[in-house]
C-alpha cells in the first residue's frame, strides 16, 4: 500500500492554499459545521489515488447505479473501495485533514436515505471488504469483513453446521456492515433478537483514522465499556465498521410453517402468547399481514396461492424450528388446533413440505415487488406495544383515507416483536401527501409511546421525527457523542441528528 500522504500538500503548505467552501451538502447538520477545506479537491483526490489501487477509486461515469438511489440526480465526488481497515484509516486521515465529508455504503438496501451521498461527498464502499476471515467452531463465532453479504455469511455458517441468526428478504445484497450500522432486525428477531444481539466484536475506523480493533470473541466480557454499541445502529455517523465478529447458533433444519387466519381483534397477541408457551422456545418467526395486504396479493400476485380463503382480518405466517421437521409440524398442528377450538384463530394450514413452506413465505416476502402497481407509495417502519396494534392499524386506515380518499394502506410486519410496516399509496401527487401521512402515522406513534423507527434507522427520512420518539436529554447525549467522536462533522453528515 502506498503511503497515505503521498501526493498531498502538507498541512503547513495547506495553510496558504486556497480556502474552499465547506463541502457539507445543503441542509446537512453536522455536530459542528466543518471548518473550511484546507486542501484543494484535486490534491485530496491525488492523495486518495496514491493511497488506493487502481480499482479503489471511481469517479465520473465509472460511478454506477449501485452507489446511487433511484431518485438521485447528482453523483458523489468519488467512490472509494478500500480493502481493509488500514486503507480506510489512510482515507480518513486524508479526509480529516481536508475536512472532507464521507458517506459509508454497504449494499445500499437501506430504506431511510442513510447511505445517500451527494455531489461534494465521498462514498466509502465496503464492497471489497468482503472476505470471511474464519469460523471459530469452538466458540461458535465468525469474523467477517463489513462488505460480506448476509447470504454469504449464512451459507458459510451452514456448511459448518451453524447458522447466523439473522434473516430477511434482501439477504443477497445487504451487508454485515450495513446491518451492524442499522442494527437490522428481520424475521427471526422474535427468537434471536436484532443484529446487536449477534455481534460480539467490531473493528472500526474513527473519523480521524484511528483503528479500534475490538474483535471480541467472548460472550461474557464486562471489562469496561462495551464500545461496540457506539457503532451498532448509529448509521455510520460515529465510525466506519470494517470487520465484525458474529455469534453463531447451532443450525436446526427442522422447520414447520403455518399460515393462520384470525378475525378476533386481540387474537394476534393471544396466539403469540399461546405459541410462546406451547412451542418451548421453537417459535422463530411470527409475521402478520392485514386483510388489505392479503387482498393486494390476491389481486396483483396471481402466481402466489394462499390455501386460506379471503376476507379475514389478519393472516399470519409462523415458523417453529427445531431438529426434526416432522416433530415440529405435528406439534404446531396440535397447538393450532387448540387455538382454533378456543376461538383464538379461525383457520390454519400447515405446510406439508419444503416447497409449500416456501410458497407460504412468498405470500409475505414477494409482494413488495408489486407495490408500485398502486402508484407512488411511501413505506413506514414503526414499533409499538402489541396490545395497541389492532386499534393503531384501524386508526391509521381511517385517518389516512379521510385525509386522502384515494389512498390505499397495506399493513404487514414482524409482529412478534411489535414491528409494523405500513405501505401507503396516496393516490394523489406525492409531496404534500407524504407530509400528511407522516404526521398521521408518527403522530399516532408519538401518542402511543412507540418508535418512529423499529429497524430501518433514521437516516435523513425520519430526522424531523426523531424527537417524537426520543426525549430532549437523549438527543443532547446523542449530539455529545457525535461531537466527541466526529468533532469535524465529516462522518455521514446530515444523517440521524
Site size for ligand FAD (CB under 6 A): 36
Among residues 92, 207, 240, 444, which is the contact residue for ligand FAD, using CB under 6 A?
Answer: 240
- The residue of the chain with the least Cβ separation from ligand FAD equals 178
Residues 265 and 289: beta-carbon distance below 8 Å = no
Q: How far apart are CA 199 and CA 203, in angstroms?
A: 11
Q: How far apart are CA 319 and CA 361, in angstroms?
A: 10
> To the nearest whole angstrom, how small is the minimum distance from the Cβ of residue 491 to ligand FAD?
8
Nearer to ligand FAD, 34 or 146 (CB): 146
Torsion 297-299-301-302 (CA) sign: positive
Among residues 80, 142, 157, 179, which is the contact residue for ligand FAD, using CB under 6 A?
Answer: 179
> To the nearest whole angstrom, how small is the minimum distance from the Cβ of residue 181 to ligand FAD?
3
> To the nearest whole angstrom, how small is the minimum distance from the Cβ of residue 310 to ligand FAD?
25
> To the nearest whole angstrom, how small is the minimum distance from the Cβ of residue 421 to ligand FAD?
8
Selected range binding ligand FAD among 252-260, 319-327, 427-435, 453-461, rule: CB under 6 A:
453-461
Q: Is position 236 an interface residue for ligand FAD (rule: CB under 6 A)? A: yes
> How is residue 319 written as a grid cell?
415458523
Nearer to ligand FAD, 107 or 393 (CB): 107
Per-residue contact track with ligand FAD, 131 to 160, x per CB under 6 A?
Answer: ---------------x--------------
Q: For residues 348-387, which are near ligand FAD according to CB under 6 A?
A: 368
Q: For residues 98-117, which are near ligand FAD according to CB under 6 A?
A: 103-111, 114-115
Q: How far apart are CA 75 and CA 412, in angstroms?
A: 34
> To the nearest whole angstrom, how small is the minimum distance from the Cβ of residue 203 to ligand FAD?
10
> To the nearest whole angstrom, how small is the minimum distance from the Cβ of residue 287 to ligand FAD?
10
Name the site residues for ligand FAD (rule: CB under 6 A). 103-111, 114-115, 126, 146, 168-170, 174-175, 177-179, 181-182, 184-186, 235-236, 240-241, 368, 455-456, 459, 492, 495
Amino acid at each position: 500500500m502506498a503511503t497515505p500522504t503521498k501526493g498531498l500538500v502538507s498541512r503547513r503548505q495547506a495553510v496558504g492554499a486556497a480556502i474552499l467552501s465547506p463541502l457539507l451538502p445543503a441542509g446537512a447538520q453536522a455536530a459542528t459545521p466543518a471548518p473550511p477545506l484546507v486542501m484543494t479537491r484535486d490534491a485530496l483526490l491525488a492523495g486518495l489515488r496514491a493511497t488506493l489501487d487502481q480499482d479503489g477509486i471511481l469517479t465520473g461515469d465509472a460511478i454506477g447505479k449501485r452507489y446511487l438511489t433511484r431518485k438521485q440526480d447528482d453523483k458523489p465526488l468519488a467512490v472509494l473501495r478500500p480493502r481493509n481497515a488500514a486503507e480506510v484509516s489512510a482515507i480518513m486521515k486524508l479526509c480529516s485533514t481536508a475536512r472532507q465529508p464521507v458517506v459509508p455504503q454497504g449494499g445500499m438496501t437501506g430504506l431511510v436515505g442513510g447511505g445517500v451521498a451527494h455531489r461534494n461527498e465521498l462514498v466509502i464502499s465496503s464492497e471489497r471488504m468482503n472476505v470471511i476471515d474464519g469460523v471459530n467452531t469452538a466458540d461458535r463465532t465468525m469474523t467477517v469483513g463489513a462488505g460480506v453479504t448476509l447470504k454469504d455469511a449464512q451459507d458459510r455458517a451452514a456448511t459448518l453446521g451453524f447458522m447466523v441468526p439473522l434473516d430477511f428478504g434482501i439477504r443477497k445484497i445487504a451487508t454485515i456492515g450495513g446491518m451492524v450500522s442499522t442494527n437490522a432486525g428481520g424475521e427471526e428477531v422474535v427468537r434471536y433478537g436484532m443484529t446487536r444481539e449477534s455481534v460480539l466484536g467490531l473493528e472500526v475506523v474513527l473519523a480521524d483514522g484511528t483503528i479500534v480493533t475490538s474483535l471480541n470473541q467472548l460472550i461474557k466480557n464486562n471489562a469496561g465499556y462495551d464500545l461496540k454499541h457506539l457503532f451498532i445502529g448509529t448509521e455510520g455517523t460515529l465510525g466506519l465498521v470494517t470487520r465484525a465478529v458474529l455469534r453463531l447458533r447451532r443450525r436446526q433444519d427442522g422447520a414447520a410453517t403455518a399460515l393462520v387466519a384470525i378475525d378476533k381483534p386481540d387474537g394476534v397477541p393471544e396466539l403469540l402468547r399461546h405459541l410462546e408457551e406451547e412451542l418451548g422456545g421453537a417459535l422463530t418467526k411470527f409475521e402478520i399481514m392485514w386483510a388489505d395486504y392479503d387482498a393486494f396479493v390476491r389481486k396483483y400476485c396471481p402466481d402466489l396461492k394462499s390455501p386460506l380463503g379471503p376476507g379475514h382480518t389478519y393472516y399470519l405466517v409462523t415458523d417453529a424450528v427445531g431438529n426434526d421437521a416432522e416433530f415440529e409440524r405435528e406439534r404446531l398442528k396440535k397447538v393450532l388446533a387448540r387455538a382454533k377450538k378456543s376461538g383464538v384463530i379461525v383457520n390454519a394450514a400447515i405446510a406439508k413440505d419444503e416447497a409449500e413452506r416456501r410458497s407460504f413465505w412468498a405470500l409475505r416476502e414477494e409482494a413488495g415487488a408489486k407495490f408500485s402497481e398502486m402508484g407512488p407509495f411511501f413505506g413506514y417502519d414503526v414499533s409499538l406495544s402489541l396490545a395497541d396494534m389492532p386499534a393503531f392499524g384501524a386508526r391509521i386506515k381511517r385517518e389516512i383515507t379521510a385525509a386522502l380518499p384515494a389512498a390505499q394502506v397495506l399493513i404487514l410486519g414482524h409482529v412478534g416483536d411489535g414491528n409494523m410496516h405500513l405501505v401507503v399509496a396516496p393516490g394523489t401527487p406525492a409531496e404534500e401527501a407524504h407530509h400528511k401521512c407522516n404526521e398521521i402515522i408518527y403522530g399516532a406513534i408519538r401518542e402511543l409511546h412507540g418508535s418512529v423507527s423499529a429497524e430501518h434507522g433514521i437516516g435523513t427520512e425520519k430526522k424531523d421525527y426523531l424527537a417524537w420518539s426520543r426525549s430532549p436529554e437523549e438527543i443532547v447525549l446523542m449530539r455529545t457523542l457525535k461531537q466527541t467522536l466526529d468533532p469535524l462533522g465529516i462522518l455521514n453528515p446530515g444523517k440521524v441528528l
